[in-house]
A and B are shown apart, each in its own frame.
Chain A
Amino acid sequence: MADKRTTADEVAAELKDGMTIGIGGWGSRRKPMALVRAILRTPVKDLTVVSYGGPDVGLLCAAGKVKRVVFGFVTLDSIPYDPWFGRARETGAIEVTEYDEGMFGTALSAAMQRLPFLPTRAGLGSEVMRANPGLRTVRSPYDDAEELVAVPAQRLDVALVHLNRADARGNAQYLGPDPYFDDLFALAADRCFVSVEKVVETAELTAGGSVQSLLLTRGAVDGVVAAPRGAHFTTAVPDYGRDERFQRHYAACAKDLDAWPGFVDRFLSGGDEQYLSEVDKFEAEAA
């Protein structure tokens, strides 16, 4: 049987210029930040990033990796706006496909089901229809004759998600209150890589949570990365909550172009060991 364990850098090395990558989580919640940082260390560029956006989108914009963002929002939750995403938009550095939050999920659902589109009411009458001139409506063939938005399938070359536990074969589990849309990302993608807080024996998965917490089956997973604190500084409850102090530091540095190179040097220029040890030092300094 396949042992799918790999590393963040090996996952990042799979990405090619111009790929469409989906990033799981939601805002500043259970984002695969270790995988995102690994992308920052590669030369890959011109990515289309599909995300319920948070600091994942901000960091990729900061590093000039992004050609287009497909999104319904970009927020740090406890801080309303991500400064790097804002800068990328306001300087015209990126293109966007902006959807309603529900349409975004509909686009992934269509891809997951190998359908060309799915109908929805969300989007009608809003900027979404004007800002995305390729969007079409579809008319019901039944008596109601309703005209609805035909949300095109959002296929992904690669999906990156972070969960709490997995076994080496790729059965993966969330232990917090919300699965977000990580299973949709996985099934809408040609390949899915999952990072987890801890790789455990298969039997430990159901010992640690209900069977309903097994969000991804191994049939949908191509690689498993052991990445303790791999969602930092976003939340990965119950393993840990959001590191609000660090997130404020990120946002403050991201706002200030003079401060940003120092943040990159300290936290983003080495590997994950350096990142986590600098985060620990940052915590100790602040305490």
Chain B
Amino acid sequence: MNVTRAEIAVVAVAELFRGDGEIVASPMGFIPQLGAKLARLTFEPDLLMSDGEAYLMTTGGVVEGWQPFRRMLDTIVPHGRRHVVMGANQIDRYGNQNISAIGDHARPKKQLLGVRGAPGNTVNHRTSYWVPRHSTRVFVDAVDVVSGVGYDSAAKAGPSAEKYHDVHRVVSNLGVFDFATPDHAMRAVSLHPGVTPDEVTATTTFAVDLSTVETSREPTAEELRLIREVLDPKSLRDKEVPA
């Protein structure tokens, strides 16, 4: 099978939702959306997904519910039956994430989005991240502004921050990473086919545990058909992750 890196990444994102059941999947960004939709069309049919605005939609494109922003923030997020996949301008070894600003918060070198819902997401329900270009600029020793709360920050903030805190995984164009080490430092779960450990070491500022790494799985024939013919026939995925 002639599988592209983008297709491997879509499947890796889909795998984030395995076992999630009947919760709201909130994928931010194009490849995360493809991954969540693929999961729902295959092994996680009960996932709830919005149209990116105020409607919950079935796989058949039928409106099945109302989920305006206020319901999301007042109910869905604090209630916890949600798994978000956010982007990250920076991410550090303990899973702290920054989408707010680069530099000192009081007077940033570069203003980005602001923290958005990242603080609430990360202390309320499972959170994963998607990084389309794995580099030392993204994977840094310490993020400039903690938007998404990492394991060390949650521990410092106390039991109420840790109670529902669950930074699940990071998927990049190079591999899949988690924080399942004794001190919750980032660890490679799998590298995509063709990616070497040296490549990850060279593009990550901090040391990544590569001791138990596997190879990311390839899509099944049915998954490939869904990605190529149903979900993304124009192959927009290649713009985010070049072949």
Which A residues are closer than 8 A to B by beta carbons? 26, 53, 71-75, 80-81, 85-86, 89-90, 92, 98-103, 105, 120-131, 146-148, 177-181, 184
In the complex, what residues of A have CB within 8 A of residue B145's CB?
Answer: 127, 131
CB-contact partner of A121 in B110, B120, B146, B153, under 8 A: B120
B55–A177 contact, CB under 8 A?
yes
Would you give the shortest CB distance from A217 to chain B, in whole angstroms? 18
In the complex, what residues of A have CB within 8 A of residue B113's CB?
Answer: 73-75, 80-81
CB-contact partner of B123 in A75, A122, A147, under 8 A: A122
Given A81-B112, A102-B78, verify A121-B117 contact (CB < 8 Å). no
CB-contact partner of B119 in A105, A128, A147, A178, under 8 A: A128
Given A72-B114, A102-B73, A127-B147, verify A90-B109 contact (CB < 8 Å). yes
Given A90-B110, A100-B120, verify A105-B74 contact (CB < 8 Å). yes
A122–B124 contact, CB under 8 A?
yes
Give the residue among B73, B78, B116 with the most A Cβ atoms within 10 A: B73
CB-contact partner of B158 in A100, A102, A147, under 8 A: A147
Further contacts, 19 of them, CB under 8 A, given A123-B119, A178-B69: A26-B69, A81-B112, A81-B113, A90-B107, A90-B111, A100-B116, A102-B78, A102-B117, A103-B119, A120-B78, A120-B120, A125-B146, A126-B153, A127-B100, A127-B115, A130-B146, A148-B160, A177-B53, A180-B70
A125–B111 contact, CB under 8 A?
no
Complex: A52 Cα to B195 Cα, angstroms: 41
- Indicate if B19 sits at the interface (CB-CB under 8 A): no
Q: Which positions 71-100 of chain B face chain A at CB distance < 8 Å?
A: 73-74, 77-78, 100
- Indicate if B239 sits at the interface (CB-CB under 8 A): no
- Indicate if B233 sits at the interface (CB-CB under 8 A): no
In the complex, what residues of B have CB within 8 A of residue A80's CB?
Answer: 112-113
Show 19 residue pairs from A and B whose CB-CB distance is below 8 angstroms, ordered by the A residue.
A75-B114, A81-B111, A86-B110, A90-B107, A90-B111, A92-B106, A100-B117, A101-B120, A103-B120, A124-B160, A125-B154, A125-B161, A126-B118, A126-B147, A147-B159, A177-B53, A178-B68, A179-B70, A181-B69
- Indicate if B101 sits at the interface (CB-CB under 8 A): yes
In the complex, what residues of B have CB within 8 A of residue A81's CB?
Answer: 111-113
Would you give the shortest CB distance from A240 to chain B, in whole angstroms? 16
A73–B78 contact, CB under 8 A?
no
CB-contact partner of A72 in B116, B163, B164, under 8 A: B116
A177–B54 contact, CB under 8 A?
yes
A101–B78 contact, CB under 8 A?
no
In the complex, what residues of A have CB within 8 A of residue B111's CB?
Answer: 74, 81, 85-86, 89-90
In the complex, what residues of A have CB within 8 A of residue B122's CB?
Answer: 125-126
B158–A73 contact, CB under 8 A?
no
A147–B160 contact, CB under 8 A?
yes
In the complex, what residues of A have CB within 8 A of residue B163's CB?
Answer: 121, 146
Complex: A72 Cα to B114 Cα, angstroms: 6
Q: Which positions 96-145 of chain B face chain A at CB distance < 8 Å?
A: 100-101, 105-120, 122-124, 145
Given A73-B113, A127-B145, verify A102-B100 contact (CB < 8 Å). no
In the complex, what residues of B have CB within 8 A of residue A71's CB?
Answer: 114
Complex: A120 Cα to B54 Cα, angstroms: 24
Interface size class of B (residues with CB under 8 A): 35 or more
**Complex A-B, nearest 4 residue pairs according to Cβ-Cβ distance, in ascending order:** A122-B120, A125-B157, A126-B119, A177-B54
Complex: A69 Cα to B68 Cα, angstroms: 24
In the complex, what residues of A have CB within 8 A of residue B148's CB?
Answer: 126
In the complex, what residues of B have CB within 8 A of residue A131's CB?
Answer: 105-106, 145
A146–B160 contact, CB under 8 A?
yes
- Indicate if B48 sits at the interface (CB-CB under 8 A): no
Would you give the shortest CB distance from A147 to chain B, in whole angstroms? 5
- Indicate if B234 sits at the interface (CB-CB under 8 A): no
In the complex, what residues of A have CB within 8 A of residue B118's CB?
Answer: 100, 126
Complex: A123 Cα to B110 Cα, angstroms: 22
Would you give the shortest CB distance from B186 to chain A, in whole angstroms? 18
CB-contact partner of A125 in B53, B73, B110, B156, under 8 A: B156
In the complex, what residues of B have CB within 8 A of residue A90's CB?
Answer: 107-111
Q: Which residue of A lies closest to B113 (CB)?
A: A73
CB-contact partner of B153 in A99, A125, A177, A181, under 8 A: A125
Give the residue among B66, B120, B163 with the most A Cβ atoms within 10 A: B120
A124–B157 contact, CB under 8 A?
yes
A177–B68 contact, CB under 8 A?
yes
In the complex, what residues of A have CB within 8 A of residue B154's CB?
Answer: 124-125
B117–A98 contact, CB under 8 A?
no
In the complex, what residues of B have CB within 8 A of residue A120's CB?
Answer: 78, 120
Complex: A74 Cα to B53 Cα, angstroms: 17
- Indicate if B16 sits at the interface (CB-CB under 8 A): no
Complex: A125 Cα to B118 Cα, angstroms: 11
